[in-house]
């Protein structure tokens, strides 16, 4: 079943009434085409401001020195690694429950981007850990759980492409994504549940930040810019996937028409 037919079924079903306006691939292409340039522009401007401010103008930490500047890349990458996987899980729910035709494709495109963010988180964390802990890697609870997250991303990438039927691959990947969600609270609360080398969070939704404001603002700019960049890449990849599937469907339909015409000609 192609994406346009799936969108029609979704819009007619009672469970998809609230989602039907986002299920049509043509509507998605039109809307995303307007949003994508703004996402890319915000991502570029905010990331350049955040990284330029943090790497060259923000004060060094009194204890860690200039090594703390890795934070302006590491912390946004860590945020995107977890939030990207949460987005992957949400797409999986939309796919399994409501059969949203764009959810499978979005999940497929989130996987590589999220894996890249997780790898960047691990790499920068290793660079930060060497001067702080004296080792490139320790089997710390936070580091280990993020490594598990990276493997979950890789498993999802491999699984959705392991079947001849895209529907079977998408369903298997969705199940894996939902099972892996249990790792997200472990990542978040590992520094509170166990004695770890990793420092606790400096920014909390329920309390005041423990970071100097001159370091906090560039971090927020960098995190916001990289978040817009993550979204822009996922939207661009999803747009490309929709167009690729449309082209493949048109080519398949043309091949079937030509085969039917040849059969009719041979029969006559």
The residue that leads in pLDDT, 49 or 23, is: 49
pLDDT, greater one: 236 or 137: 236
Residue 135, pLDDT score = 83
Decide if 13 is inside a domain: no
Q: What is the mean predicted confidence (pLDDT) over 19-41?
A: 83
Task: Look at 254 and 91; give whichever has higher pLDDT.
Answer: 91
- CATH number at 92 reads 1.20.120
Residue 27 placed within a domain: no
Q: Where are the alpha helices (DSSP H) in the chain?
A: 3-12, 20-23, 25-52, 71-98, 101-133, 141-160, 166-180, 183-193, 213-267
3-class DSSP state of 259: helix
Give residue 202's pLDDT: 58
141-179: buried (b, 16+ CB within 10 Å) or exposed (e) per residue?
Answer: bbbbbbbebbebbebbbebbeeeeeeeebbbebbebbee
Question: Taking all residues of the chain, what is their mean pLDDT, rounded to a whole number?
Answer: 84
pLDDT digits (tens, 9 = 90+) for 50-82: 999 999 999 888 778 888 899 999 999 999 999
At 9 the pLDDT is 42
> What tokens appear for 106 in the block?
């979005």
pLDDT for the residue 10? 45
Ranges 3-7, 8-12, 160-164, most confident: 160-164
- For 191-225, what is each residue's pLDDT tens digit? 666 666 566 665 555 555 667 788 899 999 999 99
- CA dihedral over 203, 38, 226, 54, signed as positive or negative: negative
pLDDT score for 119 = 97
CA distances from 120 to 77, 81, 145, 190, 243 (A): 6, 9, 15, 20, 29
Q: Average pLDDT, stretch 129-145?
A: 84
Measured distance CA(88)–CA(108) in Å, rounded: 8
Q: Has residue 6 been placed in a domain?
A: no
> For the chain, what percent of residues have pLDDT higher than 90?
47
Number of domains composing the chain: 1
Does residue 257 lie in a domain region? no
- Is 134 a domain residue? yes
Checking if the pLDDT of 7 tops 60, the result is no
Residue 96 lies in a domain: yes
pLDDT at 213: 84
pLDDT value at residue 13: 47
Q: Answer yes or no: is 133 within a domain.
A: yes
Domain that holds residue 137: 46-198+214-238
Cβ distance 167 to 6 under 8 Å? no
Is 265 a domain residue? no
Q: Residue 176: name the closest of 95, 98, 244 by CA.
A: 95
Would you state the pLDDT for residue 8? 45
């Amino acid at each position: 079943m192609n994406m346009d037919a799936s969108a029609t079924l979704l819009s007619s079903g009672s469970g998809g009434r609230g989602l039907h306006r986002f299920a049509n691939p043509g509507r998605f292409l039109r809307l995303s085409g307007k949003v994508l340039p703004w996402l890319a522009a915000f991502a570029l401007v905010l990331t350049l401001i955040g990284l330029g401010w943090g790497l060259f103008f923000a004060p060094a930490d009194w204890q860690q020195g200039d090594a703390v500047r890795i934070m302006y890349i590491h912390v946004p990458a860590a945020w995107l690694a977890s939030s990207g996987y949460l987005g992957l899980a949400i797409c999986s729910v939309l796919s399994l429950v409501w059969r949203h035709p764009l959810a499978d494709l979005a999940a497929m495109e989130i996987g590589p981007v999220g894996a890249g963010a997780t790898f960047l988180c691990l790499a920068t964390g290793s660079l930060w850990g060497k001067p702080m802990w004296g080792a490139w890697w320790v089997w710390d609870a936070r580091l280990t759980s993020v490594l598990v997250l990276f493997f979950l991303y890789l498993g999802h990438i491999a699984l959705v492409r392991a079947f001849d039927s895209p529907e079977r691959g998408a369903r298997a990947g969705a199940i894996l994504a939902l099972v892996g969600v249990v790792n997200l609270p472990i990542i978040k609360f590992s520094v509170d549940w166990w004695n770890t080398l990793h420092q606790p969070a400096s920014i909390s939704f329920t309390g005041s930040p423990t970071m100097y404001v001159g370091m906090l603002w560039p971090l927020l700019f960098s995190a916001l810019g990289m978040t817009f960049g993550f979204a822009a890449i996922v939207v661009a990849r999803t747009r490309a996937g929709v167009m690729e599937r449309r082209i493949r469907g048109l080519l398949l339909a043309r091949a079937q028409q030509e085969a039917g015409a040849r059969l009719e000609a041979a029969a006559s």
